[in-house]
Amino acid sequence: MSCAGHCTKVPRNSNMEKLQHGYLFPEIERHENMHLEKYPHANIIDLGIGDTTEPLPTMVTSSMVDFVRGLSTSKGYKGYGPEQGEQALRKAIADVYYKDLGIKPTEVFVSDGAQCDITRLQLLMGPNLKIAVQDPSFPAYIDSSVIIGQAGDFLDKVGKYKNIEYMKCGPQTNFFPELHKASRPELIFFCSPNNPTGHAATRKQLEQLVDFAKVNGSIIIYDSAYSAYITDDSPKSIFEIPGAREVAIEVSSFSKFAGFTGVRLGWTVVPEELLYSNGFPVVHDFNRIMCTCFNGASNIAQAGGLACLSPEGLRAVKSLINYYMENARILVNALASLGLTVYGGKNAPYVWVHFPGSKSWNVFAEILEKTHIITVPGSGFGPGGEEYIRVSAFGQRDSIIEASERLKYLLYQQKN
């Protein structure tokens, strides 16, 4: 690219040049805006990005309002807080979310969201590590790996980055990687319940994952952002598995279980037993990263998070979870009634729908064109997502019912 105007002498980060297209969800939004230009009066239903839609519980917002009012008083004003998070919230996360798992408040780091922590963990680990991801998986794992310099060149023929190991997790293997075929990655990004497939790893599967990491000396970056949606006996935390404290870091969030997508609040757990190859505790370096790159989560958001973890707050957010999971049930039933193979919707608010022989972007485009519904093409989550679309159950009930009817009408017409 030539310089048309004034150009500095600063070269572009070569890793940025390796990123493919735009980040998935802004790319989806671009398609939505183009569709609106074509159909300005269309009633678009967005089942794409996993954004919550229901109001926050009153007791949660009241706690934030009270805190804000206190900021107007000498007694209630607070400025900078600890970069690691307020002690009361760190303790509540350890006591409520990791009850009986031995997680200490000092191992909990409060943040502005799981996605931000994924990038901080990449900064912590640096560019010289071999990584592995589930395929399909949340695109932030791969894109952050590209930016930090771990990924290598993009191989167009296979749709993969050279230095990333894509561990295929499809229905043929019960959405779990065939670890005996994997190389020896130093970092393993693993999400359960998985985004996009909705699969929650079983206890046996996670035991295999922890054993694999221990044998190979790997660190697991475990994303449990959707664990509150688990309805069966699948583990909600990697730390339920014996030995995980020696090989795993867990990232989680208030976004999806409490509706904090806009409020922004999450956390990461780094156990004291997790050590680098030289015996130095990882938790000390992560603490330094947080202190260097972060001034702490909003104290207003933390007040709301603390309210979520009270007995009344937990009951309130559980009702939100039940609402979204009923949405998922409606979508699953509608799509399955047409003979489609549908996964997910049981332990996560995502429905993973198979369209054999079809390109996922083509399916996305046809659904948008003919029903005015936004979905997400599966290939946006990696090559293993080709032939699938992800449908989000986040939405208001009337929109979910309307979307179900539109999809049934379109797909019934195609079959007949």
C-alpha span between 104 and 109 (Å, rounded): 11
Q: Burial level of 15, CB count in 10 A (0-12/13-18/19+)?
A: middle
- Exposure of 352 in the CB half-sphere (CA atoms within 13 A): 26
Neighbour count for residue 328 (Cβ, 10 Å): 24
Phi and psi (nearest 5°) for 269? Answer: -110, 125
Helices (H), 241-396: 255-258, 282-293, 299-308, 311-336, 360-371
Helices (H), 108-178: 114-125, 139-148
Tokens of 250: 């867990």
Residue 305's nearest CA partner among 265, 269, 267 is 265
C-alpha span between 270 and 105 (Å, rounded): 10
Q: What is the pLDDT along the chain (416 residues), one digit of tens a residue?
A: 667 789 999 999 999 999 987 778 888 999 999 999 999 999 999 999 889 999 999 999 999 999 999 999 999 999 999 999 999 999 999 999 999 999 999 999 999 999 999 999 999 999 999 999 999 999 999 999 999 999 999 999 898 999 999 999 999 999 999 999 999 899 999 999 999 999 999 999 999 999 999 999 999 999 999 999 999 999 999 999 999 999 999 999 999 999 999 999 999 999 999 999 999 999 999 999 999 999 999 999 999 999 999 999 999 999 999 999 999 999 999 999 999 999 999 999 999 999 999 999 999 999 999 999 999 999 999 999 999 999 999 999 999 999 999 999 888 777 77
pTM of the model: 0.95
Domains and CATH numbers, the chain: 16-56+314-415 (3.90.1150.10), 58-311 (3.40.640.10)
